Every structure is written in C-alpha cells, then in structure tokens.
Amino acid sequence: MDRTNLYYINQGKRGKVDLCNICKQSASLSWDHVPPKGGIDLKPVEQVTILQHLTGNLEEQKPQISQNGVKYRTICKDCNERLGHSYDPVLNRFALGVGGILKSSIKILPIIHYKTQPAVLIRSILGHLLAAKGIIDDVVVDQKIREFLFDDQAQLPEDIKIFYWIYPYREIVVVRDVIMPAVRGKFDQVGFFTGILKYFPIAYLVCNLEQYEGLDELTIYRDLKIEETVEIPIHLTNIRHSTWPEMADNGNFMVGGRNLNSSVHARPRKA
C-alpha cells in the first residue's frame, strides 16, 4: 500500500475554476472556513487527515500548516457569501455566547438553555459540511441538503438528524461520509454519518439515526420558521472525550471512502 497516498491531505484545494460543492455550477472557487470565521479565532493550525490522527501514524507525513484555520476551496463566491451573510452570524453568535459561559468564572450549571434560531443554525452547519469535501460525488444526502439549503421555506428531510454536545477543546475536527455502529459496542446495525464538525464550544453530528448515544437533537426544531427563536438545552457537564465519537476502540469502528482524505484533525500550531 502506498502510505504517502493514504495520508495525503486533500483539503479540496481544487482548481481556481471548478464545480461548486453547493450549487454544482462551474465557477471561480473561493475559500470556505470550516468552522466559519467570526465564531472562532482564525489562528495558525497544524492539521493531518483524520485517518492519520486516529491511527497514530504521525511520522508518515508532516502536518499541513494553515495560517488561518481549516478551510476548503470548494464553493463559489455566491454560495460562500450566502452562507456568510444569511446563516453564519447566528451560528457564530451561538458559539461565542456558549463559549463565553464556559470561559467565565461563574459556577457552571449542569444545563443551560440558550436562545437561538435553530432553522438558521441547521443551514449554516449543513452548508459548511457540504463545503468540506475535496471530491464531489453522488451521495443522496448531499443532494437533499443542496435542495434544502438556500430555500428558507423548505423542510429538512426527516432522515437527516443533527445532534450536538459540549466540546471544550481547542482542536477542530471535520469528518465527512463515514459509517459507524448505530450503538457503540453493538455491531449488528450501522448508521451513515454525513458529517461531524467539532470546535469550541459545541460539536455537531449529522446522521440518519433516530438518536445517538443520548445526545440532544437540533433537528427536533426542523419545523420552525427561519426567523423563529427558541431556547435550546445545552448540557454543560456532559463532556465527552476529545476524540469521541470518531475514535476506533472496542465499541466502535469507522469506515469511509475517498473523502476521508478531506477529513481533518487540526490543532493550534506549536509556537
């Protein structure tokens, strides 16, 4: 096996003119930050493929350095600006608000309720996960997301679920299109995980399962209108391991295709 190819980081830095991951039109491609700028400091990071990180083969290839966070040149300027102007401000306020609570000296309660616009959060998360693929393929769920994304009146299909949990770590993790057990420790049923996006202070997981490991579900608010707000629960003391849920152990495995080379683990660059 060619280990160089196995661990090569394909960040989706395709040609300057190529198909956009969102609208699928040929256009000049722009860089999309995943997670979006405004909700996180865009500092230099060292990143490796998720496969390289999980297998511990860090000697095979030096980490790739990005001076301003994890980013993908995979979407056109119009789609990038639509995400940035219409949806990202809500996601960024959510991240900054919850992050501020975690950083404060106030005694942390087991659970808080944070007011936000779930329909906008959902679109921002899904839009950036669409961008986080170096290879455009014919995954059915991606097409469903494209049809939903920029139509503010559209209903998210019932088989797309988004779960979330507190993530008090500095690492950024982006994973696309993997199969893992539906229940950890049981291997008779698997789920398709469209995406995992983890960054301080909240992590998100998109899959086709009705529930996953007791996580709160963002998509229970799928019927809300784009402008509607609600206070969603956040369990501040239910902290998972930094490599959960993607880590392979006695209760879990992960199988993916070519876009595992676009899936990354990034950490702040060492001084």
Asked if residue 91 lies in contact with residue 118, where contact means CB atoms within 8 angstroms, the answer is no
Asked if residue 264 lies in contact with residue 11, where contact means CB atoms within 8 angstroms, the answer is yes
pLDDT for 106 equals: 73
Mean pLDDT of the 147-163 span:
96
Among positive and negative, which fits the CA dihedral 212, 204, 70, 132?
positive
pTM over 0.85: yes
Cis peptide before 245 (omega within 30 of 0): yes
- 181: Cα separation from own chain's centroid: 19
* Lowest mean pLDDT, pick from 48-57, 94-103, 120-129: 48-57
What is d(CA 154, CA 157) in angstroms, rounded to the nearest whole number? 9
Structure tokens at 44: 């230099």
Show the 3-state SS of the chain. Answer: CCHHHHCCCCCCCCCCEEECCCCCCEEEEEEEECCCCCCCCCCCEEEEEHHHHHHCCCCCCCCEEECCCCEEEEEEHHHHHHHHHHHHHHHHHHHHHHHHHHHCCCCCCCEEEEEECHHHHHHHHHHHHHHCCCCCCCCHHHHHHHHHHCCCCCCCCCCCEEEEEECCCCCEEEEEEEEEEEECCEEEEEEEEEEEEEECCEEEEEECCCCCCCCEEHHHHCCCCCCCCEEEEEECCCCCCCCCCCCCECCECCEECHHHHHCEEEEECCC
- For the chain, what is the mean pLDDT? 91
pLDDT at 6 over 60: no
Is 3 or 197 the better-scoring residue by pLDDT? 197
Cis peptide before 181 (omega within 30 of 0): no
pLDDT at 252 over 70: yes
pLDDT digits (tens, 9 = 90+) for 178-211: 999 999 999 999 999 999 999 999 999 999 999 9
For residue 207, the cross-strand partners are: 161, 193
pLDDT for 244 equals: 97
Of 190, 201, 193, 187, give the one whose Cα is nearest residue 240. Answer: 201
pLDDT for 180 equals: 97
Structure tokens at 109: 């309660």
pLDDT at 28 over 60: yes
pLDDT digits (tens, 9 = 90+) for 216-234: 999 999 999 999 999 999 9
Q: Residue 60's pLDDT band (boundaries 50, 70, 90)?
A: low
pLDDT at 12 over 90: no
pLDDT for 109 equals: 83
